[in-house]
C-alpha cells in the first residue's frame, strides 16, 4: 500500500498540482498586500480620505466609531469595505491567470498538418496513393509529383 501511495504522489500531475497550490497561496498574499497597501489607499484618498477596510454597516442600535470596535463588541455588522477589497483582489488574480493562460496558448504551436495519404485520379476521380504513377482503375498515367 505504501508503494502505491508513493507512486501516486510521484506522478507528474500531483506534484504539479501541489506546486501550483503553494505558489497560488503565496501569490494570493502578494495580491492582497497589493490591493490593501498600494491600490486602495490612493482610491480612498481620491474618494475623500476613505479607508475601505473600515467601511461597514452596523446592524445594531449601538454606535461604534470603527469596524474593529464593533467586531470586538460582538455587534452584527456587514463589512462591505473588506468585501470590496476582496473583489478587487479576485479581479487582479483572475486577470493574471488569464494573461498566463493566453501566453501559454501563444507558445503552443499547432501540430503541422499531416500530408495526405491519397489523391484523386485526375481522370476517373478514384482515390489512389500519392506516390502512384498509374491509376489502378483507369490505367491512366499520372503526372509526376512536383
Q: What is the pLDDT of residues 7-60, one digit of tens each?
A: 776 776 777 788 888 888 888 888 888 888 888 888 888 888 777 788 889 999
Domain limits, CATH 1.10.1200.120, in the chain: 2-107
**pLDDT for 72 beyond 90:** yes
CA–CA distance, 37 with 39 (Å, rounded to integer): 6
Superfamily of domain 2-107: Large-conductance mechanosensitive channel, MscL; domain 1 (1.10.1200.120)
Its pTM stands at: 0.55
- Position 74 scores a pLDDT of 92
Strand-pairing partners, residue 134, are: 141
CA–CA distance, 48 with 59 (Å, rounded to integer): 24
Question: Which of 52, 54, 32, 33 lies closest to 42 in space, CA to CA?
Answer: 52
CA 1 to chain centre: 35
Helix locations, the chain, DSSP H: 2-10, 12-34, 40-46, 67-72, 80-107
CA–CA distance, 79 with 64 (Å, rounded to integer): 13
- Position 77 scores a pLDDT of 93
What DSSP element (H or E) covers 139? none
- Position 20 scores a pLDDT of 84
| 3-state DSSP assignment of residue 118 | strand
Whole-Å CA distances, 87 to 68, 92, 94: 21, 9, 10
**pLDDT for 76 beyond 90:** yes
**pLDDT for 61 beyond 70:** yes
- Position 145 scores a pLDDT of 63
Amino acid at each position: 500500500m505504501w508503494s502505491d501511495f508513493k507512486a501516486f504522489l510521484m506522478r507528474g500531475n500531483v506534484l504539479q498540482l501541489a506546486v501550483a497550490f503553494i505558489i497560488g497561496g503565496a501569490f494570493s498574499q502578494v495580491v492582497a498586500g497589493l490591493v490593501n497597501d498600494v491600490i486602495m489607499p490612493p482610491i480612498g484618498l481620491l474618494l475623500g480620505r476613505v479607508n475601505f477596510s473600515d467601511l461597514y454597516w452596523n446592524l445594531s442600535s449601538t454606535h461604534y466609531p470603527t469596524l474593529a470596535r464593533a467586531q470586538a463588541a460582538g455587534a452584527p455588522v456587514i463589512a462591505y469595505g473588506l468585501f470590496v477589497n476582496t473583489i478587487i483582489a479576485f479581479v487582479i488574480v483572475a486577470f493574471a491567470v488569464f494573461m498566463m493562460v493566453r501566453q501559454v496558448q501563444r507558445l503552443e504551436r499547432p501540430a503541422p498538418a499531416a500530408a495526405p495519404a491519397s489523391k484523386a485520379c485526375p481522370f476517373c476521380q478514384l482515390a489512389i496513393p500519392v506516390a502512384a504513377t498509374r491509376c489502378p482503375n483507369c490505367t491512366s498515367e499520372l503526372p509526376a509529383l512536383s
